[in-house]
Chain A
Amino acid sequence: MRRRIADIALTLLVIVVQTTLGRYLAIAGLPPDLALIWTVTLALRRGQMIGTVAGFCTGLVLDLLSGGDGMLGLSALALTCGGFMAGYFYNENKTLQTLGSYRYILIILSVALVHNLIYFIIFLQGSGVHWWQAILLYGVPAALYTAAAGLLPMFIYARRLLL
């Protein structure tokens, strides 16, 4: 129970940091997707079910906070898929090994790419912008930056693994 409460509190903290301080971490207008990193981390620590639900809840809150642009549910959809995908890499006996190694970064990168792909394909429906252009211009750099931001938790978990 305490673990669940801690997870929920941390999820809220990540959302607050993402929405308030995300812009200070942005490079060329692209902030790292802390919500995605947290969703992947939860999926790897707690399993596919928790990862999927956490992705949905986090995405939904982010959608609500993003203003009235007519796309409520989009971040929730993309993050739900992200959490579900990351859950495939869950191994109860090797949680720390996964989180403390380069595999964690590769998982974040692949989940971020899929997340951005889903996001752009839906978001750009009916607009003049090609989704593959958006993926190349924003999706790939944003995914790379998000993966790079994942290095910090990876080092923390790697250190915990050594102790």
Chain B
Amino acid sequence: MLRRAYEFVILFKEYLVFGVLLAFCAVLLAQNDDAQIRTIRSVAVVAVGSLQDVFGVIPHYFDLRRENQVLRELNLTLADEVSRLREARLENVRLRGLLGLKEEKRSGVVAANVIGKNLALLRNTVTLDVGERNGVRVNMPIVTEDGLAGKVVATSGGYAVAQILFNKEIRVSAKIERSRVDGIIRWDGGSLLALTDVAKTLDVRTGDVVMTSEYSTFFPAGVRIGLVTSARGSEGSLFQTVDVRPAVDFTRLEEVFVLTTTPDSERVALERRARGE
């Protein structure tokens, strides 16, 4: 009997190993949020971050000249914008004081270099050279001077991994700047983003600016996401299809800013209580 079992194992060892490994993969897929797995991931982020840090110098070397030129131009534009914003802020403070409105919670900013890009099929992420030591935590938004780029999904001491908007997993509460129409930004695998859950009757036009809305727990309101390139209704659906071109050019993503904003705990607790969680 034992001999037969042994012969069976020897004869079908490849299939047995294959079966065991498949079962192990299935268990891993089911246990993704386990604390031990998160710890292992954190160690892996450090390892890959250190390696990508070494190789990250390559594009900088070749692009330095172009980058310098772009930064100089950007500096001029921003200097002008800063002076105008300063005036606007003073006016805003004065008007808010007159109306008695609550001051918005301001978030800090941590500058980061993109030291790695993971372009695995539909799982687009970037590795940043900042981590928990710099105050970066999971779910913090990342932005560039053009607009929203994504959010942090894993951190270690000195590195962080962030999902970019071209990632199937990401969802952002958004609104049209002009008409204040709300929707959800997601990526369906194409070259553009999609603003979903927008009823056919609502006012969305090509060229409208899409920005983050106040409804998001993780993303601050008013961050530019992109421009509407087309809005069309489809037969048999109550919703329209709104394509959005992101403001950020992800092919040239080299530096980003992590907004060290954390969700308002009072708001989160209240919303949870209201949902009965």
* Contact call B55/A73, Cβ cutoff below 8 A: no
Asked if A92 lies at the interface with its beta carbon under 8 angstroms from chain B, I say no
A residues 51-76 near B (Cβ < 8 Å) are: 52-53, 56, 60-76
* Contact call B32/A70, Cβ cutoff below 8 A: yes
CB-defined contacts of A139 to chain B, threshold 8 Å = 121
**Complex CA distance for A70 and B125, rounded to whole angstroms:** 13
Asked if A77 lies at the interface with its beta carbon under 8 angstroms from chain B, I say yes
Given A67-B163, A72-B37, A72-B41, check contact A23 B29 (CB 8 Å).
Answer: no
* Contact call B116/A68, Cβ cutoff below 8 A: no
* Contact call B118/A70, Cβ cutoff below 8 A: no
* Contact call B189/A133, Cβ cutoff below 8 A: yes
Measured between C-beta atoms, what is the minimum distance from A60 to chain B in Å? 8
**Complex CA distance for A71 and B120, rounded to whole angstroms:** 12
Asked if B95 lies at the interface with its beta carbon under 8 angstroms from chain A, I say no
CB-defined contacts of B25 to chain A, threshold 8 Å = 56, 73-74, 76-77, 80
CB-defined contacts of A19 to chain B, threshold 8 Å = 48, 51-52, 116, 118
The total of chain B residues at the interface (CB under 8 A) is 54
Asked if B9 lies at the interface with its beta carbon under 8 angstroms from chain A, I say no
Other 20 A-B pairs with CB < 8 A, given A61-B44, A71-B32, A73-B26? A22-B119, A52-B18, A53-B21, A56-B21, A64-B44, A65-B48, A67-B127, A68-B153, A72-B29, A72-B37, A73-B24, A76-B24, A77-B29, A80-B22, A119-B121, A123-B168, A127-B188, A129-B168, A134-B121, A138-B189
Q: List A residues at the B interface (Cβ < 8 Å).
A: 16, 19-24, 26, 29-31, 48-49, 52-53, 56, 60-77, 80-81, 84, 87, 116, 119-120, 122-124, 127-129, 133-134, 137-139, 142
